[in-house]
Structure 1
């Protein structure tokens, strides 16, 4: 004869994963077996009989009975956790694929940037070479311009000296001093 449950609001617990256990009509092995509860089944614990070591439960088929307390576990069973774990695995695999695609894209961008960097470094070296060549040409032109100005100044100075000497050598008319003025 089955006992009536003492409390309809009980704590959720699980049957251990590695077995199935018999559900008895009362708290002990000497009570009639009402059926079995499969390993990992989510059950509701109504009360505990510590003297006999049995727990009153309501199983997934809404049957009320007593099972050995050794087979009650607070942790969700593997069977209960498996769908969530599979969903997490699926989500993780999708995230991993997305990350791999992003990684591949970033690696391609890195290769493109490295290629552009090498090209720009080559252009920079070419521009530096041209800059150095143009600076040398400019320095040479400055030297030539200074030399031209120096030469022209020297020629003008020499012409001035020669003209001054020639002018000094030209005889001058003497003035007469007989006039009143």
Structure 2
């Protein structure tokens, strides 16, 4: 069980790593590359590529923006922010990697999904364990019935053997009695007096 949880956590970390790479590579529907305002700053949105241009507003740290143009000479970048405002910010404040603000909700959702999957796996495992326990109980019951059947069979066989032995003894006894009776009958007939013949001849 512990090994399965370790493998599951490893899969979670791996999937998060690949998700970070996919998020970092996605492009906005608008023209230009997707960039992010650095998490550790608060920057102003200017009307032109420089600090001397009018401030149009501010961009929250970690906000997702679309890079439209890059002024390398002044080191400013024209962006389109989440409020659909166009403006210029210092190019040093633009990152290619997703901000923590963007990543955390996705990671939380993935963690919750993995937790649900893990819970489902644990539930399935409990169900399988219960089925195995039921099958073992059924096997034990069948073994008990088999033992009882074999014992009954042995008793029946013993009864049959005893009956056959009794039948043989009975036949032997009857045969012996018949032989003795026949011998006695023969002896009796032998010792019976014989009837004399009458002599009718004339002298």
- TM-score normalised according to structure 1 size: 0.62
1:15 to 22, 31, 37: 37
Distance 2:107 2:147 in 1: 58
Q: Do structure 1's residue 125 and structure 2's residue 147 form an aligned pair?
A: yes
Please say which of residues 162-171 and 128-137 is displaced more in the overlay.
162-171
Runs (5+) with no aligned partner, structure 2: 1-29, 196-203
Note the C-alpha offset of 1:50. 4.1
Q: Secondary structure at the match of 1:19?
A: coil
Q: How many pairs were matched up?
A: 168
Distance 1:50 1:141 in 2: 114
Please say which of residues 91-100 and 39-48 is displaced more in the overlay.
91-100
2:166 to 124, 144, 147: 144
Coordinate RMSD, CA, aligned: 3.9
Map of 2:70 onto structure 1: 48
Which protein has the bigger helix share?
Answer: 2
Map of 1:5 onto structure 2: none
- TM-score normalised according to structure 2 size: 0.57
Note the C-alpha offset of 1:156. 4.9
1:67 to 67, 89, 106: 89
Map of 2:156 onto structure 1: 134
Runs (5+) with no aligned partner, structure 1: 1-7, 174-181
Map of 1:39 onto structure 2: 61
CA deviation map 1:120-144 (0-9, x unaligned): 3333333322222222222333333
